[in-house]
Structure 1
Amino acid sequence: MSVWEFATGTAEQTQQLAGKLAALLRAGDLIILSGELGAGKTTFTQGLGRSLGVREGIISPTFVLVRIHPNMPDGLNPGGPDLVHVDAYRLGTPGEIDDIDLENTMDSSVTVVEWGVDRVEHLAASRLEIELVRAVGGARPAPSAPTASGIASTLDGTDFSASFDADEDDDEPRTLRLVAVGPRWEGTDFSVLGQLVNTTE
Structure 2
Amino acid sequence: MGTTVERSAPRTVVAHGNALDDWLAERRRLGQDGRDEVWDGVYHVVPHAHSSHGRLAYRLGIALAGRAAERGLSPMGEFNLGTGDRDYRVPDMGWTSTPLEEATLYVPSVEVVVEFESPGDETWAKVPFYFERAAGEVWVITPQTRSVQVLTGPDSAAAASGLLGVSTDEIAAALGWR
Identify whether the pair has TM-score above 0.5, normalized to the shorter chain.
Answer: no
> Normalized against structure 2, the TM-score is what?
0.37
Select the structure with the greater relative contact order (CA < 8 A; seq sep ≥ 6). Answer: 1
Normalising by structure 1, we get a TM-score of 0.34
